Structure 1
Amino acid sequence: MDMDMDEASERVAVEIAAQGVIGKRVDEMESGFMMAIDYMIQMAEKDNDDQRKSLLEVVKQTVLDHLAKKCPPHVQVIGLLCRTPDKESRHELLRRVAAGGGVFKSEKGLKVHLPGANLNDIANQADDLLETMESRPSIPDRKLLARLVLIREEARNMMGGGLLDERNDRGLNTLPEAEVNFLSKLVSLRPGSSVQKMISDVMHGKNEGADNVGSGDEDPNSEQNTLGGFAGRGSVTGRRPRPVRPGMFLETVSKVLGGIYSGNVSGITAQHLEWVHQKTLQILQEMAF
């Protein structure tokens, strides 16, 4: 029992010391510091040194907490949402944040102090991060990508006008070729498990969602190459379309749905698209956590 008390005291002492040092020096820390901490944690794990690992994790978390506090409120909220697996808990967190913040009890029973933040700022920040990630030739972290898509969609959904809220119009005036082509393929098929699997494969980076790694050495018979352009026809530009990306795909679905609800699009049932939208979110939830 005394030993437990000593360990607990040591942990608190390290945390207090870390708070003091990190609070003063966090701006001067080099980017390699966190990598070094991670490496030391791995070494402690390899040596089966639980105490050293535990204390290093205290230091790491203290640094992360300080960095988070220096971020704007909506960025802090995205960080919290990325660590909240349960959908209902995320919604509750968003509601609290939109209402001005306060104390939020996490799933593990810990009390978290939430800043007040604007739902539109949260959605736009998530969208900006998604755009940065999805514009790259490959996506190294699809789990994080899925989390950001969920955050964007859930924040938007909670805004007053929902899907048709004018604040959701972020300038996607021309629908992207790859996503439109894939969506055309989906809506030509009856909703069901096979279509759901097609969506899942693409969200996981297969088929039309496969990363364009390298150039000129792709398999000419691959599905992604043969499906260039709209509705399976050849690409208008003659170039291989970029991969279907989860964030851009849902953005496209939302835009087409918005067009249907506004009376500008005909021939595709809203019910079918709603099903695609719902199943995509479900798949991303499974991917994200």
Structure 2
Amino acid sequence: MAGKRVGPDGEDGVEQVLDELYATPPSDFVPRREQAALAARSDGRAADARRIRAARRPTQAAWAANLLLRARPQESRRFLELGQALREAYRTLDADGVKELSEQRRSIVSALSRQAAELAREAGHRLSDATRQDVDSTLRAVLADQDAADRWAAGRLESALTPPADFPARSAGTPAGGRTERARAEAPRPSSSRKKDELAERRRRRQEQLDAARRAAEEAARLLREMRAARADAVSALQRARERHDLAEQRRSTAEEELRRAGEELERADRERREAEEGLRAAGDAVERAERTARDTEKEAARLAGPAED
């Protein structure tokens, strides 16, 4: 409706309007945007109206990712924190550690992607397989790239994000400590005591890296368990809703059948009533005719019974 206030005034107000717009299904985005812009302009907020009208409609995948961030704030925050931990772990881990975290990463992305698809379905929009792949791509990008994580965290994606070829890793030939093999070869040979110190330092750094990797893996596993538990709860809730729906449908069918029967009984009763009324009228007419006949007969009998003529 023209002139309807969509959000509060001021900077916070327009930010709230934009947040809500990017969580709006793409099919409804443009009408909502124009309604909000018109409301802002009607309130004398021309700058806000321009900002709102400049918002671009998101793709289906970008909308689903925005919806996930808005509807699952705790899981999304932990997902962003996990991305930071994973990026750091990937910079320091060996091949075996990278493989383990990659498996955790795929499981978590898959779990969150399913949640996004379920949220979209609850909003009345089923995601296609291609759109689901774009959602997966966006979530992988959020884990692997800080810029992608920042863009998703803003909640206003307009299109799906593309992850880098792989997680950020140290340069080839550069060990976790940061020195290249060539630099180590060119360095002067340290004394025995210095060798021991460097060995202890490398072991300490290696232990720190392993500890960080384990913490990242544990956090990934915990987040995955929480997501699976949330999904199980959602499945249970859906099953209960379906059972309630089936029971209500059964009751509705029973009520419709009873209503149909009651309607038929009402029609029969109405028909019998009309027939009885017609019978009553016919009987009344017959009584009136009989009464007239009786009166006429009495008159005739009285006439005949009168004094005889001489």
Q: TM-score, normalised by structure 1?
A: 0.28
- Greater relative contact order: 1 or 2 (C-alpha under 8 angstroms, separation 6 or more)? 2
- The structure in which a higher percent of residues are helix is 2
User: Of the two, which has the highest radius of gyration?
Assistant: 2
